[in-house]
A and B are shown apart, each in its own frame.
Chain A
Amino acid sequence: MRRTRENPEVHAGSMADIAFLLLIFFLVTTTIQTDVGLDRKLPPDVEDHINIHERNILRISLNRNDELMVENEVLTIGQLKLVAMKFLDNGGESVNERYCDYCQGNRNPTSSDNPQEAIISFSSDRSASYGMYVRVQDELAKSYHELRNREAQRLFGQDYVDMEKRYYAPETSDEVKRELKSRIESVREMFPMNISEAELNVSSKNQTP
């Protein structure tokens, strides 16, 4: 038996097909995981009582049919952002050091004193759907972002959301980060995010089993 001496050439024409097959397999099987969401900080597990004036609380409740009620008024989800912004930006306190000089609201004395003291209380029925719950949280976050953007534009000439994005970007240098951090914190102080999900009404707390 005599073997052929000549080198048999490997046919590389089908290589591309094989690679495409692999590529398509990977594209189909991998699921790109979502890594975005709404960050919240839960309150620590301690019972403490603080006295807050009723005018500084915006009560939002969600019932079992996913209907929204804000301060005894039924609203749609689309209206929520403006109502929340109006409440936060009110600046009702007219004298002394708690006067809010950057607020552009109506200065209504029956609404919040200043953004530092304004608290949004969000209570949800146990049977409400989580999708709606997240939408309400999202709308509230949007109203804070919009107000913070406004102040950041006024003070630093750029959007708050952009500043945050640049701060978390890995390519930003440390020096820039330090400057951004102080700016972000100063804007956050102007409109601190006070969203409470605790039971604020003592009488209703007794009713729940």
Chain B
Amino acid sequence: MSTFKSHKRSNPSISTASLPDIVFMLLFFFMTVTTISNKTMLVENELPMASSVNQLDKKDRVIEIYVGAPKDDLAKRLGTEPRIQLNDKIAQVGDVGPYVLEELSKKPEAIRNLVTISLKIDKDVKVGVVSDIKEQLQKVNALKVNYTTYQGGDPLP
């Protein structure tokens, strides 16, 4: 009885030796699951919301085209009209076709006809620019497009 009492009164400290291991595990988990985008965004890219969406294909089967108003620091030179960003450069509508063909030629032949064009377009861009881009894509016969969106319910009108 006395041993039990003395045992209760003693204050055992919790070993924190394994805490670094746990945190490192978390760290590695996050490092592996997040994709770090190595592109510097030159344009605003607030995507629209949609709810009945499809999952995009694997990363190597996707060519991305960004459209949006230039970011604040570039707006002084480029104005506020929506611009197209291909890779790390601001481009014109006419450059879209050659860019897609160039990117396609970099892909292995087996997956070339599976490549999707992901259109990452800011929700404030006018549809005119989008249809110009689609026209360019039709010309180079890249017909699989994906209007990339955020997944979510309907935003309030």
Real complex partners, A and B?
A: yes
Task: Report A's interface with B, CB cutoff 8 A.
Answer: 12-13, 15-16, 18-20, 22-23, 26-27, 29-45, 62, 76-78, 124-131, 133-135, 137-138, 141-142, 145, 161, 164, 168, 197
- B143–A42 CB distance below 8 A: yes
- A residues within 8 A CB of B48? 130-131, 134-135
In the bound complex, what is the Cα–Cα distance between A78 and B118 (angstroms)? Answer: 27
- B residues within 8 A CB of A124? 127, 131
In the bound complex, what is the Cα–Cα distance between A164 and B145 (angstroms)? Answer: 18
Binds A, one of B26-34, B72-80, B85-93, B105-113: B26-34
- A residues within 8 A CB of B50? 37-38, 134-135, 137-138, 141
Smallest beta-carbon distance B130→chain A, Å? 6
Smallest beta-carbon distance B13→chain A, Å? 12
In the complex, B128 has a CB within 8 A of chain A: yes
- A residues within 8 A CB of B124? 129-131
Contacts known (A37-B56, A40-B146, A145-B52); A26 close to B126, Cβ less than 8 A: no
- B residues within 8 A CB of A145? 52
User: Which residue of chain B is the closest to A30 with respect to CB atoms?
Assistant: B34
In the bound complex, what is the Cα–Cα distance between A131 and B53 (angstroms)? Answer: 15
- B23–A20 CB distance below 8 A: yes
Which residues 108-153 in B have Cβ within 8 Å of A in the complex?
116, 118-119, 121-128, 130-131, 134, 137-139, 141, 143-151
Contacts known (A26-B30, A42-B134, A135-B48); A37 close to B53, Cβ less than 8 A: yes
Contacts known (A42-B137, A44-B141, A145-B52); A23 close to B37, Cβ less than 8 A: no
- A residues within 8 A CB of B154? 135
Smallest beta-carbon distance B148→chain A, Å? 4
Which of A18, A37, A127, A142 is the one whose CB lies under 8 Å from B118?
A37
Smallest beta-carbon distance A197→chain B, Å? 8
- B residues within 8 A CB of A27? 30
- B residues within 8 A CB of A37? 50, 53-54, 56, 118-119, 146-149
Contacts known (A42-B137, A129-B123, A138-B51); A19 close to B147, Cβ less than 8 A: no
Which of A12, A130, A133 is the one whose CB lies under 8 Å from B17?
A12
Chain B contact patch, size range: 35 or more
Contacts known (A16-B20, A36-B151, A37-B149); A77 close to B157, Cβ less than 8 A: yes
In the complex, B4 has a CB within 8 A of chain A: no
- B143–A44 CB distance below 8 A: yes
- A126–B37 CB distance below 8 A: no
Which of A13, A20, A130, A197 is the one whose CB lies under 8 Å from B121?
A130
In the complex, B63 has a CB within 8 A of chain A: no
- Point out which of B30, B50, B116, B151 has the most chain A C-beta atoms below 10 A from its C-beta: B50
- A residues within 8 A CB of B145? 39-42
User: Which residue of chain A is the closest to B147 with respect to CB atoms?
Assistant: A38
Which residues 27-63 in B have Cβ within 8 Å of A in the complex?
27, 30-31, 34-37, 47-56
User: Which residue of chain A is the closest to B41 with respect to CB atoms?
Assistant: A31
User: Which residue of chain A is the closest to B119 with respect to CB atoms?
Assistant: A37
- B residues within 8 A CB of A78? 157
Smallest beta-carbon distance A12→chain B, Å? 7
